[in-house]
Structure 1
Amino acid sequence: MSAEQVAEPANPPRIEATWEWLCRAVDHIGSPAPGLSFPLAPASADGLGPAHCAVLVVPPVPQSAHIARDLIRRTLVDRAAHERVEDVAVTVSELVSNALRYGRAPGAEGELHPALWLAYWDHWSCAVCAVTDDSDLVPVPVEADELAESGRGLQVVSALSDSWGWNPRADGGKVVWALFGL
């Protein structure tokens, strides 16, 4: 993938560097253990202050979107307004659903195990969620037929988040991320 294919934030907020930092962290740390939750660093190198991270390896089952929403709600319940927590939860649900539907590398066999990353910064009152998958397909919002029951996921992500995009992973696949002011 070329640099031109990498999506840049449409409306970069004052916390623009957070998604770059999380994508670098995803590449550096690699595949997480299921249900892992930990502080990533006492202070990040880019000056954003303490970052906290919750990580979930998503099983390839229909309940995965619900499991991911629950992680978001439990993690952010005391850190953001209820409406904003729900925006993050719905966005994560869409990203996880897309990863499970489209996230397999071409020709790959076996089970899919996308990973959900949520990083938040108390000092900056912001969060970035990222979902990894093994596909190199570029996520592109499409115009869904008005009677279709699916196909609007990235439109929902765009409407609810402050900014969203994707980055290629060093080991193949991609990270699709969404940024939120809390």
Structure 2
Amino acid sequence: MDDICEGRPDHGAEGDAVLGAMTLYPVPESVSRARRWFRRFIAKHEVACSVDDCVLMISELVTNAILYGRAEEAWLVRVEWRREGKSLRVDVHSPGFPASVRLRYPAANEAHGRGLWLVNALADSWRAGPSRFGGTVVSFEMADAWPS
């Protein structure tokens, strides 16, 4: 089972240029695919922000999408990244209800629950809401990814 990947510019709902996108099956192997494909496609854009931080946040959001996405029929996770002015924005779309996305502050001895906490700590901003594909989108933004 291969993931479906796109590495070409596209146009999102608002007409902004999508630098890259991938559509992944909701299986654990998709987390490493998301990391690998993002690194591959973002490299040519020479971002000034930490690619490692972005990869970590994508890992966490794709993991959450796989663990908590819910649909009656077969479904996929979609990851998109785009330039918005000087910022890099990454969106992770999955089925399920936006209201179920919440920031937790887990205790030191808890094994899980740090995904959005990490995003909150590393990103300049993040949000969750309804996806244009139906379901939920969780996005993070890295300001000054392109300083000039």
What's 1:173 paired with?
135
What's 1:119 paired with?
82
1:90-129 superposed matches below 5 A: 90-105=56-71, 108=72, 110-120=73-83, 124-129=85-90
What's 2:42 paired with?
76
Higher RCO (C-alpha 8 Å, min separation 6): 1
What's 1:136 paired with?
97
TM-score by length of 1: 0.67
| Structure 2 CA distance for aligned equivalents of residues 169 and 80 of structure 1 | 26
- 5+ unaligned residues in a row in structure 1: which ranges? 1-32
| Structure 2 CA distance for aligned equivalents of residues 51 and 65 of structure 1 | 24
Code of the aligned partner of 2:108: E
What's 1:40 paired with?
10
TM-score by length of 2: 0.81
* 2:123 is the alignment partner of 1:161: yes
Code of the aligned partner of 1:85: V
Return 86-95 or 60-69, whichever deviates more. 60-69
The question of whether the paired residues in 2 share the 8 Å contact of 1:60 and 1:111 is answered with no
* Per-residue deviation, residues 4-60 of structure 1 (Å, max 9, x unmatched): xxxxxxxxxxxxxxxxxxxxxxxxxxxxx921222235xx76xxxx72421111122
- Of 109, 114, 118, 1:152 maps to 114
Identity %: 28
* TM superposition shift of 1:137: 4.1
Return 67-76 or 154-163, whichever deviates more. 67-76
Larger Rg: 1
- Structure 1 residues 55 and 170: alpha-carbon distance in aligned structure 2, compared to 1, 3 A threshold: closer
* Per-residue deviation, residues 117-172 of structure 1 (Å, max 9, x unmatched): 11135xx3421111111101421011223112211100001111111002213553
Number of residues paired by the alignment? 138
Structure holding more strand per residue:
2
* 2:32 is the alignment partner of 1:57: no
RMSD across aligned positions (CA): 2.3
The question of whether the paired residues in 1 share the 8 Å contact of 2:23 and 2:77 is answered with yes
Q: Could you list the runs of 4 or more consecutive aligned residues of structure 1 that deviate by over 4 angstroms after TM superposition? A: none
Code of the aligned partner of 1:134: P
SS of 2:4's partner is coil
